[in-house]
Amino acid sequence: MSKLRCLMVGAGGMAGAYVHNFFPQFAERAQIVALVEIRRDTLAAAGDNLGLPASARFTDLQEAFRLVEADFCTVVIPPSVHRAAVLAAVERGLPILSEKPIADTWEACLDIYRAVTSANLPMQVVQNYRYTPRILTLKKVLESGELGRPYYLVERFAEDYRQRDSWGKFRHEIRHTLLVEGSVHHFDQIRNLAGADCLAIGGWEWNPGHPSFDGECCGLYVARMQNDVRAQYEGNCLDAGWQNSWHQEYYRIEGDDGALVLDRDGTVRRQRHAAGRGLTIEELPPVRGQFEGHTAVVDQFLSWMEGGPAPETVLQDNIQSAAMLFAAIDASQSGQMVDVQAKVREATG
């Protein structure tokens, strides 16, 4: 089978990891044949690394989609420009692998969803957190039934971004920073671990007045899932104490027959309390896949392009995570619980 040809949209930041790390692990299956990047120095460095000719390096998105012959595109640029890239891909009939979130506004998500589904194009949204050993371990126990019926889930994210631009300049300038750039991972994880989509969500996002962010950087939410699991989420980009940063998030899942706890050390612990015998705590061995994180997602997408099964996080599934995200924004603004499935129906109806 010939290699799949990728038009790579983005070359710096996270996109640089695709160029220099993720795709090289699949060199026998896929090849980046062209790059789009508005920063000329970043484009030059990434293009040189790939050995691309000048004719395969673009600063203009539309020109790249018009001229490049590719089998799919990968979109790793700020969410505010996802819509332009995806709609250009739809016009060319190219399948799409896109970083989360689908877009930076619900209106842009709707445009993307309707365009991609109308064109019947494959699109996967990157939700790499599902495929780390810590989450795979939680998921295995939940699916085994050892915990009984789960009914309550807690998730905490906390990082210290009190220094301006410490999380990347654009993230300190946009609205809804925590939710759009962070909580989209965490809400998707709540869906993944609860084993159900979100029915309703309520709570708040806010900035307590810290100058490092122009937009909202803290969040506190509760959610009810369609299987009646209840979830609590805490997010903080200004944490000055105990941190649960990226891939160190805190989870607690309560079930009829025990609880699972995962903290920053990465160890999943199963807790059981028996009357008269007290609490027992068991550390569980990590579950590992052939690929993990981003490389697991890239492998899934390439396998899909090669005729394999559709991945878990296709656009038609991930619209649920996006709806949860933008319903959370609506809930904060209205002060009321918001019907997440009403937003999904707006996209899919």
Q: Kindly state whether residues 187 and 169 are assigned to the same domain.
A: yes
Residues 272 and 336 in one domain: yes
d(CA 299, CA 304): 9
- Tell me whether residue 303 is in a domain: no
State mean pLDDT over 120-141.
Answer: 97
Q: What average pLDDT does this structure show over 170-180?
A: 96
pLDDT at 21 over 80: yes
> In terms of domains, do 107 and 158 share one?
no
Look at residue 230 and tell me if it is in a domain: yes
Indicate whether 276 pLDDT > 90.
no
Domain end marker among 54, 89, 121: 121
Q: Read off the pLDDT of residues 186-226 as tens digits, 9 standing for 90 and up.
A: 999 999 999 999 999 999 999 999 999 999 999 999 999 99
Q: Is the pLDDT of residue 278 over 90?
A: no
265 and 336: one domain? yes
Structural domain boundaries, residue 18: 4-121
Tens of pLDDT, residues 296-341:
999 999 999 999 999 999 999 999 999 999 999 999 999 999 999 9
What domain count does the chain have? 2
Residues 96 and 141 in one domain: no
Based on the fold, state whether residues 80 and 34 are members of the same structural domain.
yes
| pLDDT tens digit sequence for 79-91 | 999 999 999 999 9
What is the average pLDDT value for the chain, to the nearest integer?
Answer: 97
**Model pLDDT, residue 275:** 77
Residue 229 confidence (pLDDT)? 98
Query: Percentage of residues in the chain with pLDDT exceeding 90?
Result: 97
Q: Is residue 164 part of a domain?
A: yes
68 in a structural domain: yes
Is residue 1 over pLDDT 90? no
3-state secondary structure the chain: CCCEEEEEECCCCHHHHHHHHHHHHHCCCEEEEEEECCCHHHHHHHHHHHCCCHHHEECCHHHHHHHCCCCEEEECCCHHHHHHHHHHHHHHCCCEEEECCCCCCHHHHHHHHHHHHHCCCCEEEECHHHHCHHHHHHHHHHHHCCCCCEEEEEEEEECECCCCCCCCHHHHCCCCHHHHHHHHHHHHHHHHHHCCCEEEEEEEEECCCCCCCCCCCEEEEEEEECCCCEEEEEEECECCCCCECCCCCEEEEEECCEEEEECCCCCEEEEEEECCCEEEEEEECCCCCCCCCHHHHHHHHHHHHCCCCCCCCEHHHHHHHHHHHHHHHHHHHHCCCEEHHHHHHHHHC
Residue 179's contacts (CB-CB under 8 Å, 6 or more residues apart) are 205, 216, 219, 235, 325, 328, 329
Q: Are residues 164 and 190 in the same domain?
A: yes
Q: What is the CATH number of the domain that holds 23?
A: 3.40.50.720
pLDDT for residue 131: 98
Question: Which of 121, 138, 171 is the C-terminal boundary of a domain?
Answer: 121
Q: What is the pLDDT of residue 300?
A: 98
Residue 349 has pLDDT above 90, yes or no: no
